[in-house]
Amino acid sequence: MTRAPVPPRILAVGTSHPPRAYTQDDLVRLFRCEDPKVRQFFESSHIQRRHLVLPEPDADGVMPDEDGGALLAKHLRVSLEIGREAVERCLGANRRTAVEVDFFATTTSTGFLCPGLTAYLIEASGMRSSVHRADIVGMGCNAGMNGLLTVASFAAANPGRAALLLACEVCSAAYVFELTARAGVVNSLFGDGAAAVLVVADERLTAADGPALLGFESHIVHAARDEMRFDFENGRFSFYLGWEIPYLIGEQIRTPVLRLLDRFGLKRRDISHWVVHSGGKKVVDAIKYNLGLTDHDVRHTRSVLRDFGNISSASILFSLEKLTRERIAGEGDYGVVIAMGPGVSIETGLLRW
């Protein structure tokens, strides 16, 4: 008789962010933005504040220019601070220490390092030198799910062993922060934050320990590959986001979600909890009306967007932490996690408590 494989479970989530938060008004003032079109992005956006690491204005009140080298150094410095704190909080929540981690993966799209972030954080956090590792770089906002699939696969293949994912995004180090017309949308959107999740497959674990990761479905839309991208101009990165992207994602969202549900014989109404990436107001609306979700279903998605902005791959884990803290998920409840980003890519996963 063969026994059903033990599904990996998410045992803990820990988050961190830089201490300083800026309201949208703060930023418009700080960067002395006069362009009404750009100011409009900051006013109409459903973001109240974002945690960012920005330089201090000079004696004349002008924001100094940060070059590529300074941005990379900031990415590493801030990643080590918030990444280590998120890892500590996650492991602490499950009463574990760093030496117990067997596999460590990171996701980031806000700075290219070699050696990768794991090489720094394994030492800084006190993990064993024998820990397996993977650095997932440059996949964008959907990477939280790509990372989750990676640690879940390790955990499933190695029962009892601890896999840790850190989604670490220092968006204020990704590109030059400027309030021009083209950069206005993205610079009014992204924020800094890090979130870690601990995933273990062990038959002794139950719903009380955390939700099981039952499966994943991916969907990539090639036709829109260039509609969400990093550009490299004049020696520095900028991020481009096509205006139709939120609607395109709405149009495509049912493909992976229904495929995922069909695989497990579920209907949309069987899903009690939705963990949706806080991509921006428009894309959340588009998902809401294409999947028939309610405001209640996207409450964490909205509150993370309001308080942190779009923190790229870490967003879904911030929402998952909020859901976990509510303690409303009961044994047998199903949840669907949705992250979307460049590719254009929609990544989904099924949870069961």
Partner 1 sequence: MSETTLRLDRVGPVATVTLDRPDRGNAISMTMVRELEQLCHLLEDEAAERVLVLRGAGGTFCSGIDLLDFPPEAKPDIRGFSRWEKACRTIERLPMVTIAAIDGECVGGGLQLALTCDARVATERASFQLHEVRDGFLPGMGTFRLAKFIGLGRARFMAMTGRRVAAGEAFELGIVDRVCPAAGLDAAVGATIAAFGEIHRDAVELARRLFDESFEIPYEDFLGCFLAAQHRAIQSEAFKALVREAHERGVPRPRR
The residues annotated as belonging to the active site are 141
CB 122 within 8 A of CB 131: yes
Residue 96, number of CB atoms within 10 A of its CB: 17
Q: How far is the CB of 46 from partner 1 (least distance, A)?
A: 8
State yes or no: residue 264 binds partner 1 (CB under 8 A): no
Write down the H helix ranges in the chain.
24-30, 36-44, 68-93, 117-125, 143-157, 181-187, 245-252, 254-263, 281-291, 299-308, 315-326
- Return the structure tokens found at 247: 């609607």
Is the CB of 120 or the CB of 247 nearer to partner 1?
247
347/147 Cα distance (integer angstroms): 11
State yes or no: residue 316 binds partner 1 (CB under 8 A): no
For residues 189 to 228, the per-residue mask of contacts with partner 1, x marking binding by CB under 8 A and - elsewhere, is ----------------------------------------
265/292 Cα distance (integer angstroms): 19
Residue 9 is classified by DSSP as: E
- Residue from the set 230, 237, 240, 247 that interacts with partner 1 by CB under 8 A: 247
Q: Among 32-40, 47-55, 193-201, 245-253, which window interacts with partner 1 (CB under 8 A)? A: 245-253
- Residue from the set 132, 161, 229, 281 that interacts with partner 1 by CB under 8 A: 281
Q: Among 110-118, 175-183, 278-286, 320-328, which window interacts with partner 1 (CB under 8 A)? A: 278-286
User: What is the DSSP pairing of strand 132-137 with strand 101-108?
Assistant: parallel
Three-state secondary structure of 90-130 = HHHHCCCCHHHEEEEEEEECCCCCCCCHHHHHHHHHCCCCC
Is the CB of 37 or the CB of 95 nearer to partner 1?
37
Comparing C-alpha atoms, which of 170, 196, 186 is closest to residue 316?
Answer: 196
Residue 336 is classified by DSSP as: E
- Residue from the set 292, 325, 326, 328 that interacts with partner 1 by CB under 8 A: 292
Q: Among 88-96, 144-152, 204-212, 282-290, which window interacts with partner 1 (CB under 8 A)? A: 282-290
Token match 């509510």: residue? 326
Residue 29, number of CB atoms within 10 A of its CB: 12
Residue 277, number of CB atoms within 10 A of its CB: 32
Q: How far is the CB of 184 from partner 1 (least distance, A)?
A: 18
Q: How far is the CB of 293 from partner 1 (least distance, A)?
A: 11
Q: How far is the CB of 249 from partner 1 (least distance, A)?
A: 10
Three-state secondary structure of 164-207 = EEEEEECHHHCCCCCCCHHHHHHHCCECCEEEEEEEECCCCCCH
- Residue from the set 269, 296, 327, 330 that interacts with partner 1 by CB under 8 A: 269
Q: How far is the CB of 251 from partner 1 (least distance, A)?
A: 6
**How many residues in the shown chain lie near partner 1 by CB under 8 A?**
15
For residues 21 to 60, the per-residue mask of contacts with partner 1, x marking binding by CB under 8 A and - elsewhere, is -----------------------x----------------
State yes or no: residue 100 binds partner 1 (CB under 8 A): no
Is the CB of 112 or the CB of 289 nearer to partner 1?
289
- Residue from the set 94, 180, 255, 290 that interacts with partner 1 by CB under 8 A: 290
Q: How far is the CB of 299 from partner 1 (least distance, A)?
A: 14
State yes or no: residue 296 binds partner 1 (CB under 8 A): no
Q: How far is the CB of 288 from partner 1 (least distance, A)?
A: 7
User: What is the DSSP pairing of strand 9-16 with strand 101-108?
Assistant: unpaired
Q: List contacts with partner 1 (CB under 8 A).
A: 44, 246-247, 250-251, 267, 269, 281-282, 285-286, 288-290, 292
